[in-house]
Homo-oligomer: A and B are copies of this chain.
Amino acid sequence: MTSSLPSPVASPRTVHALLPQVLAQCESEQKAAVARLIALLRIPSVSTDPAFDGEVRRAAEWLAADLKSMGFSAEVCKTIGHPIVVAHHPGIGSAAKTAPRVLFYGHYDVQPADPLELWTSPPFEPVLVEGKEGTRVVARGAVDDKGQVMSFLEALRAWHAIAGGPPVPVTLMLEGEEESGSRSLEPFMHEAKDQLAGDICIVSDTGMWDANTPAITTRLRGLVYIECTIHGPMRDLHSGMYGGAVPNPIQVLADIISSFHDQDRRITVAGFYEGVDELSAQTKAQWESLGFSDAEFLGDIGLPSGFGERDRSSLERTWSRPTLEVNGIFGGYIGKGAKTVIGAHATAKISCRLVGRQDPERITAALKAHINARLPAGCRAEFELHGANPALSVRESSPCLTAANNALEMVYGCKPLLIGTGGSIPAVGSIKQILGMDSLLIGFGLDDDCVHSPNEKFELRCFYGGTKSHAALLGELSQLSRT
């Protein structure tokens, strides 16, 4: 033990018996925990924009220092991109010698904050606001993923305060590139395989069913993200002199984007649905019983009805079906007013969510082929890949999942739902593949948290519940034996 905090108040043998005290400690620390979260949110660690590189590093250093303060050995590790924070604690008590070794994964980088003008307060000046669920904190990264990372850091802090450390061996791996393709993560895991070894990974980057009902996510979509620039004439042209006689890259791009879906909103890219399975009758029935409200899901974002693959529910569309969306487009004159120009090029940022056994590399190649096949003479396409990872189904029948079920029920008074999510967490696939570990996806976000949007927020009651849930989960895991 290295810390200046109180020494263990109980013998190692009885460490699990301290759980009620640990949960009480979580509650008494809530105000201080919010202050710490706000300090982290003040750091604009936008990983996709090189202008913020220094801030990304600052966030990593902040976390390493915080982990050291609770008895962890912590290091800001160099990578080919943004640094990865790795921290270790051997665990307290004899159970720590046989209990599952836990790897916490999270990310401290955030999405860009634009469009800035739609924020009601500056994205990196967190504010506490009252809402229908009580107080919330509003800031970029509030829930994705700084608030969730801090929920398990606060759980570890409570264990440290009461027992001198966590009841199981704990490693943390906090990356700074989740929002920009995680390109350093896999090389780093290969390199640091030994020190990252563990039995179960806990990831807190998903959502609850609602503010009262916890959830464990057992189904994740994969992601292919490709940026495509169509080049046409060698320079911008006067649309009066050349209009109607030359290929306009914006229109070529629009034709291509339009060609991606058919009338039934099925994706037309050749081979796209290879490896996509229909839901089992059992899963379908289970999902139907969830009482998901399309009207509420869509009404929250101002839509009267859904729009997507024909004869599918919104849950199917977002949990079990692959997608192709254009996340950004630009070309020609985009300033105020009119300019009669034919731009020399036009760009689209295109992402596909993958499910089942869809192969990211084959999908990437098929997308490129689809685009290249639709270029008129004189046009060419340039591609930049921003990420490619497969979908994942998390194994539902492990003792760790049972431990998580118990922990969440202890905190929330009801069993968590086992759900899917439309989002992608590339790290989960890499952790399985490189480190051989399953992941437990236990998150505390809500659907209306405005993830990736202006006015992102995290409900403090979710933050508090998350903290207690992680604390309880560590206690439950200490009762298990490594397998």
Write the residues of chain A forming the contact surface with B, with a CB cutoff of 8 angstroms.
Answer: 48-50, 111-112, 114-115, 118, 179-181, 221, 223, 225, 227, 232-248, 250-251, 253-255, 257-261, 297-298, 301-309, 314, 317-318, 321-323, 325-343, 346-349, 351, 353, 376-378, 386-387, 421-424, 447, 450-454
Contact = CB atoms under 8 A, between A and B. Distances in A.
Nearest to A309: B244
A375 to B, nearest CB: 11
A223 B349 contact: no
A51 to B, nearest CB: 9
Given A307-B377, A340-B423, 4 more contacts: A239-B323, A241-B451, A254-B329, A329-B332
Contact of A307 (B221, B247, B254, B260): B247
A331 to B, nearest CB: 5
B342 A327 contact: yes
What is the oligomeric copy number? 2
Contacts of A333: 112, 114, 327-328, 349
B328 A349 contact: no
A327 B338 CA distance: 8
Q: Which 9 A-B pairs have the closest CB atoms?
A: A240-B423, A234-B302, A48-B337, A244-B323, A258-B258, A254-B257, A338-B386, A328-B332, A328-B333
A250 B326 contact: yes
Contacts of A329: 250, 254, 329-332, 334, 346
Nearest to A346: B329
Contact of A318 (B244, B250, B309, B328): B244
Which among A257, A297, A298 has the greatest number of chain B C-beta atoms within 10 A?
Answer: A257
12 contacts: A181-B337, A235-B453, A237-B301, A238-B453, A243-B318, A244-B308, A244-B309, A245-B307, A248-B325, A254-B326, A327-B333, A328-B343
A328 B339 CA distance: 8
Nearest to A225: B338
Contacts of A255: 254, 257-258
Contacts of A338: 48, 179-181, 225, 227, 327, 349, 351, 386-387
A422 to B, nearest CB: 4
A414 to B, nearest CB: 23
Contact of A240 (B48, B221, B387, B454): B221
Given A307-B378, A341-B453, A335 B112 contact: yes
Contact of A250 (B247, B322, B328, B340): B328
A378 B327 contact: no
B423 A241 contact: yes
Contacts of A314: 245
A261 B239 CA distance: 16
Nearest to A313: B245
A423 to B, nearest CB: 3
Contacts of A386: 337-338
B301 A242 contact: yes
Contact of A351 (B326, B337, B340): B340
A235 B303 CA distance: 11
A225 to B, nearest CB: 5
A138 B303 CA distance: 51
Contacts of A251: 257-258, 260-261, 325-326
Contact of A301 (B50, B233, B244, B303): B233
Which among A247, A325, A328, A342 has the greatest number of chain B C-beta atoms within 10 A?
Answer: A325
Nearest to A348: B250
A323 B349 CA distance: 28
Contacts of A325: 239, 243-244, 248, 251, 342
Nearest to A321: B244
